[in-house]
Amino acid sequence: MGIERFIWTEHAEDRLRQRRLNASDVEQAIVEHHAEREVNDGRAEWLIGGKTPQGIAFEAIYDHPHGSDENAVRIVSVWRLDLQ
């Protein structure tokens, strides 16, 4: 079983728009880097880093599994590293 579904919180969708990021870039990073994820100390279970095709670095926090669904990820927030 692998990650097949992404549930975006309203907060995470707002952050995508504010930070000019694409949902598919974040979803792809989660799939590609899930095995390298780090434990997150805050509002979500996991933290990953990624880059857009344009080379913009970002991080995302998410929960997996989402409830009892091993195939689903709940994305809680995302931010660009170049804006910090």
Reported residue count of the chain is 84
Its pTM stands at 0.93
Quote the number of domains for the chain: 1
List the CATH number of the domain containing 21.
3.30.2310
CA distance 54 to 46: 24
Rounded mean pLDDT for each run of 10 residues along the chain, 84 residues in total:
92 97 97 96 96 96 95 97 74
CA distance 21 to 4: 20
Q: Which domain holds residue 49?
A: 5-80
